[in-house]
Chains A and B, each alone.
Chain A
Amino acid sequence: MRELRIHGRGGQGSVTAAELIAIAAFKSGVQAQAFPAFGVERRGAPVQAFVRFSDKKIRLRSQIYQPNYVIVQDSTLIADVNVFAGIQEGGIVLVNTEREIKQSVPEGVKVVAFDATKIALEELGLPITNTTLLGAFAAVSGEITLDALSEALSERFTGTLAEKNIKAATIAYNMLKGEA
């Protein structure tokens, strides 16, 4: 079983991202489970969402403490929350940032920093980065295929909104393919 923890802020779509990853993973042929950290959501407050991937039926219901993957939707979270907590050796951390990561990174963990906000602003006209980050996650993790992700996005959104989100995800995917 592989596990993903998503760190975001209320309103950034962390829970939607987790759901879309689970749907895309299932379409890619593995079992998946997505759930939010059950907090009292407020816009701007740190939130978490989780995804499990497995070749077998997933029975475990606890939150995720030792993830293989972490997505950080907003780099300002790194100062507030220990986003690296419990990450396994060989793990991958995907960070949306326009700057270098200055914080110390646990040994054996690969950090992939990229500017998802820039892509989202260009493609969607809004700083909503979750779908862009999904494309990036597909590229660096290999847990979901771009085709399955596109299918999940076209089920969630309609018309030009679906097309724009798929394009943003595809740009991020192509940018990061082979990075991790």
Chain B
Amino acid sequence: MLQILEGSVAVAEAVKRCKPDVISAYPITPQTHIVERLAEMAADGEVEGEYICVESEFSALSACLGASAAGSRVYSATSAQGLILMAEVCFNVSGMRQPIVMTIANRALGAPLSIWNDQQDSLALRDSGWIQIYAEDVQEATDLHFIAYKVCEDHRVLLPAFVCFDGFILSHTYEPVDIPDQALVDKYLPAFKPYNMLDAKNPLSMGMYATPDYYHEFRYEHEMAMRRSADVLREAGAEFGKIFGRDYSKLVEGYRLEDAEIALIALGSVCGTIKDAIDEMREAGIKVGLLKLRAFRPFPADELKQALQGIKKIAIVEKNLSPGSRMLGAVGLEVKDAINDSSVSVLSYVTGLGGRDIRKQSIHDIVDACREGKGDMFYGLREEIL
């Protein structure tokens, strides 16, 4: 049943239904409403798991790692500087193959200090070995949590995941959302079965040091797990569709791509604004479509290439910056590599950094620039203050 909820509350409701045994998080804007709500639920007994209060994000994810190693289903959430403070633990979690799910309410990184949205935080941890999936709206943000636990805990995968949704733009927006029934969630997501766990009766160690004779192979196994996760995500997305009626079997989603000459590519909530802009451009006779990337890690290169067949111009809406990179942003590089065809123009447009509003007109302008072959640039610079 559809009801109007704030994005953060919808995510908290989803997490509750995933029945985590342990939640540990440290509040940071704009993630705060999620953990406030979960802390209330835990205090009221609505969430049976334990809510561990800590003094920093580093401790939050460390507590999660220990709890996960002890065989618990674990949840955390953070944003921006909080995620960067967790960075060391992030690599440990994925290296120890603990299937922790963490919501990232995406926010810009300081300095300069900004509480507003872009996607620099999660993309900065591109190589941390976590699955990264991005939501376009509150419904998708809600649903991706169920899917994330199912995929992460699958013994073919055993990796952690970021479920990313744009801070404020989704976390603080009220809109209609369907929160699945607990009974159906239980059917979709049974109790966590650890592959192995800390157990005094059967002692084992995790996170030991690995000599050069072993480390290389650990990293190979990590890579193979990430590669396998693509099909497991598709499978879990398809099964979700069968039970709940919303299909997530694809890691990329096309919008009006059939017969398109130009494709925009983006992650997250800006895809909604892009769709509205595309409808306007289509009415004006411009053959443009959108390819939404739901997964960034694993990067669905084959699926993306397939969906963009015949398209000669690609415009990436980048809400992040990789300083010194020729493409400017992290997404453009991946797309260019996936396409690997010199007859296709792939251009990046950095925009929406630190909460700069992305309007339909911004998308029109980006498409115009792409048609003229101008790109790999910052869009909407205020030249007068440079």
Say whether A associates with B.
Answer: yes
The chain A residues found within 8 Å of chain B, CB to CB, are: 18-19, 22-23, 26, 31-36, 38, 40, 58-63, 65
In the complex, what residue of chain A is closest to B277 when comparing beta carbons?
A60
Which chain B residues (95-144) contact chain A, with CB distance < 8 Å? 115-117, 137
Is A60 within 8 A of B276, CB to CB? yes
Is B269 within 8 A of A61, CB to CB? yes
Given contacts A23-B4, A26-B4, A61-B272, contact A38 B355 (CB under 8 A): yes
The interface size bin for chain B is 20 to 34
**Does B174 have its Cβ within 8 Å of any Cβ on chain A?**
yes
Is A22 within 8 A of B273, CB to CB? no
In the bound complex, residues from chain A placing their C-beta under 8 Å from that of B275 are: 59
How long is the Cα–Cα vector from A59 to B360 in the complex, in angstroms?
11
Is A59 within 8 A of B174, CB to CB? no
Interface string of B343-386 (1 = CB under 8 A from A): 00000000000010111100000000000000000000000000
In the bound complex, residues from chain B placing their C-beta under 8 Å from that of A61 are: 166, 169, 173, 269-270, 272-273, 358
Is A33 within 8 A of B174, CB to CB? yes
Interface string of B202-244 (1 = CB under 8 A from A): 0000000000000000000000000000000000000000000
Shortest C-beta distance, A6 to chain B (Å), equals 13
Interface string of B243-281 (1 = CB under 8 A from A): 000000000000000000000000001101101100000
In the bound complex, residues from chain A placing their C-beta under 8 Å from that of B137 are: 59
Is A59 within 8 A of B276, CB to CB? yes
How long is the Cα–Cα vector from A35 to B272 in the complex, in angstroms?
15
Is B174 within 8 A of A19, CB to CB? yes
How long is the Cα–Cα vector from A34 to B169 in the complex, in angstroms?
10
Is B355 within 8 A of A60, CB to CB? no
Is B174 within 8 A of A23, CB to CB? yes
The chain B residues found within 8 Å of chain A, CB to CB, are: 2-4, 6, 30, 115-117, 137, 166, 168-169, 172-176, 269-270, 272-273, 275-276, 355, 357-360
Is A38 within 8 A of B175, CB to CB? no
Shortest C-beta distance, A159 to chain B (Å), equals 20
Partner pick for A59 among B30, B117, B166, B273, CB 8 A cutoff: B273
Shortest C-beta distance, A5 to chain B (Å), equals 14
In the bound complex, residues from chain B placing their C-beta under 8 Å from that of A59 are: 137, 272-273, 275-276
How long is the Cα–Cα vector from A120 to B276 in the complex, in angstroms?
40
How long is the Cα–Cα vector from A105 to B174 in the complex, in angstroms?
31
Could you name 13 residue pairs across A and B whose Cβ atoms are closer than 8 Å? Answer: A19-B174, A26-B176, A33-B173, A34-B4, A34-B175, A35-B168, A35-B173, A36-B172, A38-B117, A59-B275, A60-B273, A62-B273, A62-B357
How long is the Cα–Cα vector from A42 to B166 in the complex, in angstroms?
23
Shortest C-beta distance, A172 to chain B (Å), equals 22
In the complex, what residue of chain B is closest to A21 when comparing beta carbons?
B174
In the complex, what residue of chain A is closest to B271 when comparing beta carbons?
A59
In the complex, what residue of chain B is closest to A52 when comparing beta carbons?
B175
In the bound complex, residues from chain A placing their C-beta under 8 Å from that of B169 are: 35, 38, 61
In the bound complex, residues from chain A placing their C-beta under 8 Å from that of B176 are: 26, 31-32
Partner pick for B115 among A26, A36, A40, CB 8 A cutoff: A40
In the bound complex, residues from chain B placing their C-beta under 8 Å from that of A60 are: 272-273, 276, 360
Shortest C-beta distance, B105 to chain A (Å), equals 12
In the complex, what residue of chain A is closest to B116 when comparing beta carbons?
A38
In the bound complex, residues from chain B placing their C-beta under 8 Å from that of A62 are: 273, 357-360
Shortest C-beta distance, B3 to chain A (Å), equals 8
